[in-house]
Structures are given as C-alpha cells and as structure tokens.
Amino acid sequence: MKRRHLLTGIGALALGALGLGAAATRSHANPYYSGPVTDHFNGTHFFNPEGVPPGRFTDLLKWQFSGERAEWPKQFPSPYEQAKPEKLINGERIKVTMVGHATVLIQIAGLNLLTDPVWSERASPVSFAGPKRVNSPGIAFEDLPPIDAVLLSHNHYDHLDLATLSRLVRVYDPPIITPLGNDAIVRQEIPRARFETRDWGESVSLGQANIHLTPVHHWSARGMRDRRMALWAGFVIETPAGKIYHVGDTGFHEGINFVQAAQDHGPFRLAILPVGAYEPRWFMKGQHMNPDEAVRGKLACNAGFAVGHHWGTFQLTDEAIEAPIQALAKALVEHGVDPARFPALRPGQAVEVPPLPAA
C-alpha cells in the first residue's frame, strides 16, 4: 500500500511520549499533579493496575516502518446533514448526537453534555500538520445548545483540543469535569476555565445528575516529558432518566473495567464505546479496543443500548476508514446482539436511546 510520511497519524503525536519521553520523565517531577501514592499513582506517574504499559520507541518505529497503513480518502462526508439540536422537554428522553471522532453531544435530564470536544481541523499540537479531519463536525459550533458541562477523558490531542475548549469557555463557561492533572494543562492556556477534577471512584453533582469517574485502560501525554503524568478516565452519568457509561479510549483489559462498572453502577441504559483506531493489534491492543472487544464490553457492562465512536474522522492508525463498521457488524452477529442496538455513529447522526428492556 502507498506510504504517507513516516510519522503520520498517532505516530507523529506520540513520538516524544513513546520514545524520548520514556527516559526523560524519570528525572522530572510531575508538572501537573501532586498527591498521595495510590493503587494507580506512584507519586509521579499514573498507571493501569496489573495492566499493559504503552509501547516503546522501538515499537513505534517498527509500526511506522511496517508499510501496512491503509489509504484513507481525503474526504469522507457523512450522509447526515449537520444537526441543530433542540432542548429536550421530556425528562425521560436520552439523545446522543455525533459531532465526530470522540466528540458527542449527550442530552439527558435537562443537561447538555459534550465529550472530548474537538472542532479543530487537525488532532495535533500544530495547525499545519498531523491528522486532519475528513468530514465536517456533525454540529456547527454556532448551533450548539447551551453546554452545561464538558466531560474531558484524557489529554491526547484527539481528545483535548485547547482551541475548542477556549471557544466553549468564552461562549458557555461550562465546568470541565476531568481526571487528575488535566486541569493544569488547560489552565496554562485558558486560565479562566472552571474545573471539577476528580480521581477514579470520585463523583461530581450536576443538576439532576451524578457523574462518576471510572477506571479505563489507557495512558496520557502531550509532549516528550509528561508521559502518564495526567490521569485518564471513563464516566458514568447517573440520572433519573437512566445511566450512561461513556468511554473515550480504552484497551479491553480482559473486560475488567467493564465488569467493575456494571457491579458498581449498572445496568446502563446506554454505553458510548470506542470502536476505531485499533490496528496493528500488537501495538494498539493494550490501549484501544477493536469492534469485537467493544461488543464484548457492551455485554460485560450490562448496557441495553450502545453507540460506537472514535472512527471515521481522523486517521490515527492502520485500519481502512470503513473497517470498524464492517468489523462491528460481524461482531454483533457473532455475539448475538441486535445490530439496531449498537450503531456506529456518523457526524450529524442523532439517536434516541430506548428504555432499558424489561428484566
């Protein structure tokens, strides 16, 4: 297959974090967070208990030189027009609208919540290089309803976009609910941003909702010297209308975190799960699920309905652009799950979440 520039996609963003940063972080204090040692924080770095660490620099080079990267089209327009969400009147309704990649608008219990908002053209530390979006955001920024809170899962560039957060703070001034350390990153550029920063197992009250931060199997880095210095998390949104389990990025990790989420918070009316950015498996398995694992995750967390995100907008990994939806369709059949209960969303697509099936 045709090769693009050596360090495209996630390789370009992770070069320092996966290679040079691995040595550099040992001699530098954590610039983002200081706190007690826990089962997932050693005093300087966060980690996944009994988990798989992110790859080494040599692994990154092996991947980048493999020549297995599929060629994405320059444009992959959504069949859905840009949505113009209206306020939900019925308090029992849950509606999810896809913006793109890991950015979704969740409307529940009178709240408008945005996950990992990215409206920028590139998921990159610079505006002139790095993964470029191949479709427009599914909601024009100007058509957003008033945003009550932002759920920020971790600090990778395809999830934490300072330009978009700056616009949101300027227009809506929403609280940003995020795991430990990410507030310090944003405040460097947006000092007036408001935060609710929590550890795994801690919660934030917001209107009729309680938002719980839960473990996921991932990692973090913005540059060459801050690898695993800010925490990553999933979110459980608990409301009178039901519970939502949202995961920005995670490895399957033998289903441990999904089972724990079900035990602590389930059952879920909705799970929002990543289904893309998973090839090659030898490099990505510890940090990103594939569609089969996403279906297994839905079942393990006891979710009545699920939607897939994290595919089809930014090319970060090797798989072809439509491979996730093809693999998801196959996995749903193999696991006996009704395909209508786990769509992979396209930008502009809005889904009304059905009630939980009767026990």
C-alpha Rg value of the chain to the nearest Å: 19
Residue 9: pLDDT band (50, 70, 90) is very low
Residue 7 has pLDDT above 70, yes or no: no
Closest CA to 183 of 10, 35, 5, 7: 35
What average pLDDT does range 286-294 have in this prediction?
97
Q: Residue 132: its pLDDT value, please?
A: 97
What average pLDDT does range 88-112 have in this prediction?
94
The domain locations on the chain are 9-72+87-352
Q: Which of 12-21, 28-37, 43-52, 136-145 has the weakest average pLDDT?
A: 12-21
User: Quick one: the chain helix, strand, coil %, rounded to 5?
Assistant: 25, 20, 55
Q: Are 350 and 343 in contact (CB under 8 A)?
A: no
Report pTM.
Answer: 0.92
Which CATH architecture is the domain 9-72+87-352 placed in? 4-Layer Sandwich (3.60)
Residue 21 has pLDDT above 60, yes or no: no
* 133 vs 168: CA distance, rounded Å: 20
Neighbours of 169 (CB within 10 A): 18
Each residue of 196-211: pLDDT tens digit? 999 999 999 999 999 9
